[in-house]
């Protein structure tokens, strides 16, 4: 059974509408190139937005609990049958082989006995008894265990699980930034548009050094999210390091973050269509299809797809978007799990679309991550689009979100994804075909002008700032010139 990226029937309808072979790539071992399997756990291909918490699953359901009196003597008897997963999706969860005793330090039962003995010592002796409930200690142990794997894996309690599901469905509460870890430091992958962080001027690449005067050294993404999330109207202070020398503090007021993932669809001069995807969530593919149909009625001759500062999102959404511009049977993305396991799943376009031969340019920058990199890599490798801008973020791992008992969930890195040519972009990013760098100051002006142009209702009573008349988006201009050149060349053939 292949886990999918959604847990509700809407995902099945979306998948059917776009004729997908693959319900979602999760790092599970097998993906038949056949009709959609039934949906199971949510799959992510992106860093967690602020306020999200990883999902826990039933991967450990059925395990026997060990109890002991308040003493330092932990039980030593081993159960006769190793604990096995009962509700985990295929390829995820412990197996009898995985839990069987092995030689040396990895003897499963010796290590479990050590954990249990330590827990009982804490229960019996720690000075503050209010912090020693079984739930608190076990959840802390689980969080630390998963956090030690990588910055993106996470044990989630019920509130965090609910937050993540809200996020992928297009609405949640917080300040509106997507977090990652870069060079060992908590960093902003990208601010979400029309959010407190975006309006305050926080930029992709900013390193978060303090939250509410608490230093973030050693702070996990999940812990940072807990600090940044909160009720609408409440305040939070974020101190950032920019360009490794400028320190800025932003007092922010939390808000409900409503995500509109497809924006700015319009026709530029020369009959070039333009559309921007801000992130990949459940509604993205349907919204893009609608935008493209409207542009097609205006007889566009080429298309600029803007993925700058798109932090990623759902893998299934990236596949759905990619196949709109690819011919049937074209490889979009594949995944590979741990060494020694069967080859991971491969997603292919399963239907022809009216946009599969439209000349395209894709705008990318350092804030383009994960699912955005899947789309960029698929269209670049298949020679369907020319990438313009700057090297992307380089987040090429896939997280499977597996619900477990008690409303908890586990968000676990189960695979890395690869572009159609076999490239792994993890920690490397995707190099654009045409490099056009923008300074932070230039990018800030581009974003400000774009926000003004796309949201005139927000500035109805304000005069357009004079600087916008001279603001130039050099990456956009280069993409327009490129497509015009292609159209001229094709017309002369």
Q: Which of 226, 395, 449, 484 is catalytic?
A: 395
Q: Which of 56, 187, 220, 370 is catalytic?
A: 370
| Pairing status of strand 302-306 against strand 272-277 | parallel
Instruction: Check: CB of residue 277 under 8 Å from CB of residue 260.
Output: no
| For residue 183, pLDDT beyond 90 | no
Task: Give the model's confidence band at 298: pLDDT under 50 very low, under 70 low, under 90 confident, else very high.
Answer: very high
Q: Distance between alpha carbon 255 and the CA centroid of its chain, in Å? A: 21
Q: Bigger pLDDT: 229 or 285?
A: 285
Which residues make beta-bridge pairs with 156?
409
Q: Is residue 261 among the annotated active site residues?
A: no
Q: Which of 255, 306, 381, 473 is catalytic?
A: 381
**CA 7 to CA 362: how far, in whole Å?**
31
pLDDT tens figures, 200-221: 989 888 999 999 999 999 888 8
Q: Bigger pLDDT: 444 or 323?
A: 323
Among residues 178, 200, 207, which one has the least CA distance to residue 190? 178
Q: Bigger pLDDT: 97 or 69?
A: 97
Sequence spans of domains, the chain: 9-159, 171-258
Q: Read off the pLDDT of each residue in 370-391 and give the average, rounded to a whole number.
A: 97
Instruction: Check: CB of residue 310 under 8 Å from CB of residue 278.
Output: yes
| For residue 75, pLDDT beyond 60 | no
Q: Bigger pLDDT: 304 or 83?
A: 304
Among residues 2, 4, 29, 22, which one has the least CA distance to residue 339? 29
Among residues 337, 336, 334, which one has the least CA distance to residue 346? 334
pLDDT tens figures, 415-424: 999 999 999 9
Task: Give the model's confidence band at 37: pLDDT under 50 very low, under 70 low, under 90 confident, else very high.
Answer: very low
**CA 400 to CA 315: how far, in whole Å?**
10
The predicted pLDDT at position 33 comes to 27
| For residue 88, pLDDT beyond 50 | no
Burial of 264 (0-12, 13-18, 19+ CB in 10 A): middle
Indicate left, alpha or beta for 458 from its phi (over 0: left) and psi (-120 to 50: alpha): alpha
Task: Give the model's confidence band at 479: pLDDT under 50 very low, under 70 low, under 90 confident, else very high.
Answer: very high
Q: Is residue 71 among the annotated active site residues?
A: no
Name the pTM for this structure. 0.67
| For residue 460, pLDDT beyond 90 | no
Instruction: Check: CB of residue 377 under 8 Å from CB of residue 395.
Output: no
Task: Give the model's confidence band at 40: pLDDT under 50 very low, under 70 low, under 90 confident, else very high.
Answer: very low
Fill in the DSSP letter of residue 56.
P
Lowest pLDDT segment from 38-42, 104-108, 154-158, 272-276: 38-42
Out of 3.30.9.10, 2.30.42.10, 1.10.238.10, 3.30.360.10, select the CATH number for domain 171-258. Answer: 2.30.42.10
Mean pLDDT of the chain: 78
* Half-sphere exposure at residue 277, Cβ-oriented, CA atoms within 13 angstroms: 37
Q: Return the percentage of the chain with pLDDT > 90, whole number.
A: 52
Q: Is residue 370 among the annotated active site residues?
A: yes
């Amino acid at each position: 059974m292949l886990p999918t990226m959604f847990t509700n029937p809407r995902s099945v309808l979306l998948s059917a509408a776009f004729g997908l072979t693959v319900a979602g790539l999760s790092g599970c071992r097998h993906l038949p190139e056949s009709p959609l399997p039934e949906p199971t756990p949510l799959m992510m291909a992106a860093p967690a937005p602020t306020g999200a918490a990883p999902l826990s699953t039933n991967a450990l359901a059925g395990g026997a609990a060990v109890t002991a009196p308040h003493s330092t003597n932990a039980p030593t008897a081993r159960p006769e049958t190793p604990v096995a997963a009962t509700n985990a999706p295929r390829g995820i969860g412990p197996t009898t082989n995985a839990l069987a005793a092995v030689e040396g330090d990895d003897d499963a039962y010796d290590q479990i006995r050590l954990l249990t003995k330590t827990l009982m010592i804490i229960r019996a002796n720690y000075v503050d008894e209010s912090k020693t409930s079984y739930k608190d200690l076990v959840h802390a142990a689980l969080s630390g265990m998963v956090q030690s794997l990588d910055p993106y894996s996470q044990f989630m309690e019920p509130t965090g699980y609910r937050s993540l599901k809200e996020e992928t469905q297009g609405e949640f509460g917080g300040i509106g930034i997507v977090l990652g870890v870069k060079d060992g430091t908590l960093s902003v992958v990208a601010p979400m548009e029309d959010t407190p962080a975006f309006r305050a001027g926080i930029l992709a690449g900013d390193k978060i050094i303090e939250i509410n005067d608490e230093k973030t050294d050693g702070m996990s993404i999940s812990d940072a999210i807990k600090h940044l999330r909160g009720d609408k109207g409440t305040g939070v202070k974020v101190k950032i390091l920019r360009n490794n020398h400028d320190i800025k503090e932003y007092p922010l007021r939390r808000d409900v973050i409503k995500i509109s993932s497809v924006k700015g669809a319009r026709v530029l001069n020369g009959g070039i269509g333009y559309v921007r995807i801000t992130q990949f969530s459940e509604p993205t593919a349907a919204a893009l299809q609608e935008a493209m149909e409207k542009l097609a009625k205006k007889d566009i001759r080429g298309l600029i797809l803007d993925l700058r500062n798109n932090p990623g999102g759902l893998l299934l959404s990236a596949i759905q978007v990619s196949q709109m511009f690819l011919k049937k049977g074209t490889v979009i993305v594949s995944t590979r799990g741990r060494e020694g396991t069967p080859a991971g799943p491969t997603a292919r376009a399963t239907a022809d679309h009216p946009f599969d031969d439209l000349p395209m340019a894709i705008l990318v920058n350092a804030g383009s991550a994960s699912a955005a990199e899947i789309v960029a890599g698929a269209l670049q490798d298949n020679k369907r689009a020319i990438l313009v801008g700057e090297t992307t973020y380089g987040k090429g791992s896939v997280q499977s979100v597996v619900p477990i008992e008690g409303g908890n969930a586990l968000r676990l890195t189960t695979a890395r994804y690869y572009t159609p040519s076999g490239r792994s972009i993890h920690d490397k990013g995707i190099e654009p075909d045409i490099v056009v760098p923008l300074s932070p100051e230039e990018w800030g002006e581009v974003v400000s002008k774009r926000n003004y142009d796309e949201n005139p209702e927000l500035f109805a009573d304000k005069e357009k700032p004079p600087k916008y008349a001279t603001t130039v988006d050099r990456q956009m201009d280069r993409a327009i010139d490129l497509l015009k050149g292609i159209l001229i060349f094709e017309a002369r053939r």
